[in-house]
Amino acid sequence: MSSSSSSSQTEKAAGASPSVPPLPTNRIVLGCGAASLDYLATVAAFPKPDDKIRSTSLKVEGGGNTGNALTCAARLGLQPRIISKVANDAQGRKALAELEADGVDTSYMVVSENGNSPFTYVIVDNQTKTRTCIFTPGYPEMVPEDLSKSSLCSALDGASLVYFDGRFHETALVVAEEASRRKIPIFIDAERKREGLDDLLNLATYLVCSEKFPQAWTTAPSIPSALVSILMRVPNIKFVIVTLGEKGCIMLERSINEASEMEETNVGSLLESLRQKVDRNATVPTCISSKSSLRVSADGVGALSGRLLVCTAEVVPPLELIDTTGAGDAFIGAVLYGGCWM
Amino acid sequence: MSSSSSSSQTEKAAGASPSVPPLPTNRIVLGCGAASLDYLATVAAFPKPDDKIRSTSLKVEGGGNTGNALTCAARLGLQPRIISKVANDAQGRKALAELEADGVDTSYMVVSENGNSPFTYVIVDNQTKTRTCIFTPGYPEMVPEDLSKSSLCSALDGASLVYFDGRFHETALVVAEEASRRKIPIFIDAERKREGLDDLLNLATYLVCSEKFPQAWTTAPSIPSALVSILMRVPNIKFVIVTLGEKGCIMLERSINEASEMEETNVGSLLESLRQKVDRNATVPTCISSKSSLRVSADGVGALSGRLLVCTAEVVPPLELIDTTGAGDAFIGAVLYGGCWM
């Protein structure tokens, strides 16, 4: 994320504007996952194989799901700590410097003397509005031995929640197990199926996932039925949110109390009824919630006690829309902010 | 170019193997043009717009036409000097270090304290054997004021020839004009039409060009007739070579003596007759030359006194062919080696 927008955000956060959100008592959050550098190369047209073209502009900015999400969390006033790995090369040093400038605590970062930092080359085609990403993993990869027990304990001390983007799954599992022992809530961002993700999900308290993940992971026939399936399969999860880009998001929350009514409500019909209550002329985000402790069912999946919520996204005028890179990560940052109040 | 092949080449050059070419008396050559860094990212398949993929391997190596050509020249035993511009960033420092390790004199490089070094991101698809290049120019651009008069004079002192790849055309023209005043032969690599190239061509002694350049520049109907047109349009050029990849190259050389025969030979027919003399079973490169001081003509273009040469390329077995990146630049390096004997 650019340092220019960083400083303006910091000014906003520091100012006394009534739009600045209030701060929770415990603002420390720990994130474990990808922090890298993005090379955003704008081109006049997406290249064909064997083409030789030149970029019209280049921006080099910090990236990676966890790096982005924690940057957003810091800009919302939280005190994020990050566990990730870079090399002591120009890219790694720049990624670290950007995080630190945004107020992300990098004391728990693993910095390899040799090897290379992870980076993503992003081919930005502003005419067709496409962002094509080629990610080069860092080397050597992060392993649990990179993180000492004392460093792990120190990183978790006082944290109100821990967030994982699914990267470095072996290290992530070690961190999640210790967090679980300490009863620290675990947030997981499931962008896609990844090696070791299921082990992490078994320890998860809250789950945010991409539009495609629920059906890919459950093979359920629709997104709402997949959400029911997720809550039934992973009994510790309190809620699952699926992000839908400009269409907002859907959240299915498990109720602590058993459903008061015995009658089952089909999750697809429930979603449809909530969507009909949305004011289509509103430009600010709105949230429509069902009653709580409904008996929510999905055909062939089962039923559970919970409530369903539909949230719309802010309507951004096309001319104001510059770049959606990292928008999902910023959403996670806001969810982490919300998580500090729970 | 990789440092590993560099060192093995250096060993070969230093050894007493009979395959090492003899060294000319004056081995100093000056090159002015692009030196940059290549990020060679191998992918499993060329990405579609909006894809998110990861590279399977990454190599970071020095590149740029002049950087590559002078690296080859150094490996052939010449003493190259380079005029180019990078920034004092990680990429620029690595490009400089590679050139120096290969024995290229970087004393005349312009190093900008700020800005960014030029680099090329190369998407390497080994399945389809494509190399897609996205070049990001350096900033700030090179301007003639970057090169002091004393530095220019010192760079040219004792040089047996000067080579240009057509980049930094304003600075290149200043260097070429001074070389021309000192009667130092000027080699130009014309990859494509570029701003300011025609001014450079007016000072050129020898020209090497890509397969597409002769017809693009002259609008002649065939490559051989375009070669005649080039020699007629640029009276100072002694020869022009067009490279044809695996098909080798064609050279048209101007004769100092007037043609002894009055009869004109059509350049297309002459090329055909030379090609028929090529041994198609040979795997080592061969060169077939016409008689010298022929009256070579091209329809609608004119005629001049010269000779035509056809050279074949070495037949490289597909399994031994790893990467053709920079092959044309290596060819230039060999031409520079030849130029030191002229």
pLDDT for position A161? 97
A324 touches chain B (CB under 8 A): no
Of A91, A125, A134, the CB nearest to B49: A125
| In the predicted structure, residue B74 carries a pLDDT above the cut 70 | yes
Which pLDDT band holds residue B248 (cuts at 50, 70, 90)? very high
Question: Which of B341, B335, B292 lies closest to B163, judged by CA?
Answer: B335
B54 CA: distance to closest CA in chain A (Å): 4
Q: Chain B residues with CB inside 8 Å of A47's CB?
A: 123, 132, 134
- pLDDT by residue for chain A (342 residues), tens digit each? 443 333 333 333 444 444 667 899 999 999 999 999 999 999 999 999 989 999 999 999 999 999 999 999 999 999 999 999 999 988 899 999 999 999 999 999 999 999 999 999 999 998 888 889 999 999 999 999 999 999 999 999 999 999 999 999 999 999 999 999 999 999 999 999 999 999 999 999 999 999 999 999 999 999 999 999 999 999 899 999 999 998 999 999 999 887 666 789 999 999 999 999 998 888 889 999 999 899 999 999 999 999 999 999 998 888 888 777 788 999 999 999 999 988
CA pair distance B253, A123, nearest whole angstrom: 44
Q: Chain B residues with CB inside 8 Å of A53's CB?
A: 133-135
Query: What does the block give as tokens for A109?
Result: 């970062």
Q: Chain A residues with CB inside 8 Å of B121's CB?
A: 39, 41, 121
Q: Chain B residues with CB inside 8 Å of A133's CB?
A: 51-53
Residue A116 sits at the vertex; the CA angle it makes with A114 and A120, to the nearest 5 degrees, is 165
Q: Show the DSSP H helices in chain A as ranges.
A: 3-14, 65-75, 90-101, 149-156, 169-181, 197-201, 213-218, 223-233, 267-276, 327-339
Full strand arrangement of the beta sheet holding A130-136: A57-63, A36-43, A119-125, A130-136, B52-54
Query: What does the block give as tokens for B262?
Result: 């009055």
Q: What element of type H or E holds B197?
A: helix B197-201
Q: Which of A134, A135, A141 to mutate to test the interface with B (most CBs of B within 10 A)?
A: A134
Which pLDDT band holds residue B4 (cuts at 50, 70, 90)? very low
Name the 3-class secondary structure at B241. strand
Query: What does the block give as tokens for A287?
Result: 């949230």
pLDDT for position B321? 79
A185 CA: distance to closest CA in chain B (Å): 30
Of A51, A90, A128, the CB nearest to B89: A90
Of A52, A89, A137, the CB nearest to B90: A89
Q: Chain B residues with CB inside 8 Å of A134's CB?
A: 41, 43, 47, 53-55, 123
A41 CA: distance to closest CA in chain B (Å): 8
DSSP state of A205: S
A89 touches chain B (CB under 8 A): yes
A53 touches chain B (CB under 8 A): yes
What would the pLDDT profile of A111-156 be if each residue is shown by its tens digit? 999 999 999 999 999 888 888 999 999 999 999 999 999 999 999 9
* A116 contacts B50? CB cut-off 8 A: no
pLDDT for position A308? 97
Q: Write down the mean pLDDT value for chain B.
A: 91
What would the pLDDT profile of B185-235 be if each residue is shown by its tens digit? 999 999 999 999 999 999 999 999 999 999 999 999 999 999 999 999 998
B141 touches chain A (CB under 8 A): no
DSSP calls for B128-179: TTEEEEEEE--BSPP-GGGS-HHHHHHHHTT-SEEEE-S-SHHHHHHHHHHH
Cβ atoms of A274 and A308 within 8 Å: the answer is yes
Residue B163 sits at the vertex; the CA angle it makes with B18 and B342, to the nearest 5 degrees, is 50
Please report the domains of chain A, with CATH numbers, ordered by start residue: 25-34+64-115+140-339 (3.40.1190.20)
B287 CA: distance to closest CA in chain A (Å): 30
Complex ipTM, two decimals?
0.74
What would the pLDDT profile of B15-25 be if each residue is shown by its tens digit? 444 466 789 99
Query: What does the block give as tokens for B251?
Result: 């050279």
pLDDT for position B16? 44
Q: Show the DSSP H helices in B53-132 as ranges.
A: 65-75, 90-101
Instruction: Give the least confident one: A234-248, B86-100, B139-153, B249-263.
Output: B249-263
What's the mean pLDDT in B243-266?
89
CA-CA-CA-CA torsion for A69, A191, A36, A45, nearest 10 degrees?
-110
Q: What element of type H or E holds B270?
A: helix B267-276
| In the predicted structure, residue B157 carries a pLDDT above the cut 50 | yes
Locate the chain A residue with the closest alpha carbon to B46.
Answer: A49
pLDDT for position B6? 38
CA pair distance A68, B299, nearest whole angstrom: 65
* A136 contacts B58? CB cut-off 8 A: yes
CA pair distance B168, B11, nearest whole angstrom: 34
A48 touches chain B (CB under 8 A): yes
Instruction: Compute and round to an integer the Cα radius of gyration of chain B.
Output: 21
Mark which residues 173-202 of A lie under 8 Å from B by CB. none
DSSP state of A132: E
- Phi-psi category of B241—alpha, beta or left, where left has phi over 0 and alpha has psi -120 to 50? beta
pLDDT for position B11? 38
